[in-house]
Structure 1
């Protein structure tokens, strides 16, 4: 067997395009932008809803808790070292030229630059579920990872009962790799964690 035949489609590599400072990302219908201090009311609208907080690590937030949570996430606007993250507001522009509407947040974390490994997450207002917005926004994040940052692997971890997020993982090309039974005490009870992931080869094969 020749040396050429043993080479896989993607050679091992570290993440490229780092450091990366958050910038606006666009899709056909959406604008993804870094959070800012003007997003408090939008953030609180999400975080006070029980349906939104059901499978997240935080409880329903009051206004002050939303403000503190937003302050921490605004500071997450650059990827340079392991553990860094970026949180984007997902805006639905008004076709009539009025104020855009924030319908969700998506996040991206650099887990290990040496292995080009990233983690992503999302939360969307229940009022916009079923319209493909989450698919559009998370697909754009995958494009950022694999086409700009040289990603090798992107994964998501979620409460195994979160059927909507599990479906989204499948839609954007992720495969469930593990079910960690009783892995965390989540809001007072043991919970299973589902791990989904997509590799660069998978992403490019699906284009």
Structure 2
């Protein structure tokens, strides 16, 4: 793996790009992260403006992958440059060449393939330039949209942990989906 790796340039897709978060993204990010429906399956409750500002500052500075738990949280931007969501790529293990993938999309832009394209860009980066072997996603299996996205990306369900965590006042399950480099390459061929 060519580490350290630094996020320096936007990653361009057909309809979306992945780019660094910027201070002017605050309003759009706050609208997403304060929405109770968006947060329903996330590990946090709807966020206050102060918390979103702190998270924006923290995640905008996350540009380098060098050691386990380093992460990127790039903005998903549409062709007009508008923030429509964020992606997440965490370096889970250097020796095992493993990463974790996640996403958050403004509900106004869901169902149009933007998350799939953005996730595909991060998988291309993960298995290409970064040289990862395996990428996984952990999610609440009740989140049908995220499960469907994993399946559209070719990720397979590897685990379903029943009542694994106390989550927002109830026991919740955790699903794990994953894809290997050779599986992603075969899909892209």
Do they superpose with TM above 0.5? yes
TM-score class normalised by the smaller sequence: over 0.9
Compute the displacement of 1:17 (Å).
Answer: 2.0
Give 3-state SS (helix, strand or coil) of 2:18's partner: strand
Tell me which structure has the larger Cα radius of gyration.
1
Q: Distance in 2 between matches of 1:112 and 1:183?
A: 22
Residue equivalent to 2:140: 159
**Counterparts of residues 26-45 of structure 1 (less than 5 Å):** 26-45=12-31
Residue equivalent to 2:106: 125
TM-score in terms of structure 2 length: 0.96
Long gaps (5+) in structure 1: 1-15, 95-99
Compute the displacement of 1:36 (Å).
Answer: 2.0
Q: Distance in 1 between matches of 2:26 and 2:2?
A: 31
Compute the displacement of 1:77 (Å).
Answer: 1.2
Compute the displacement of 1:134 (Å).
Answer: 0.5
How well do the aligned residues superpose, as a CA RMSD in angstroms?
0.9
Q: Distance in 2 between matches of 1:185 and 1:205?
A: 38
Number of residue pairs matched? 187
Residue equivalent to 2:2: 17
Residue equivalent to 1:183: 164
Residue equivalent to 1:137: 118
TM-score in terms of structure 1 length: 0.88
Output one character per residue of 1:134-162: Cα deviation in whole Å (capped at 9) or x when no partner. 11000010000001111100000001111
Compute the displacement of 1:22 (Å).
Answer: 1.1
Q: Distance in 2 between matches of 1:61 and 1:102?
A: 17
Give 3-state SS (helix, strand or coil) of 1:176's partner: strand
Which aligned runs of 4 or more in structure 1 are off by greater than 6 angstroms?
A: none
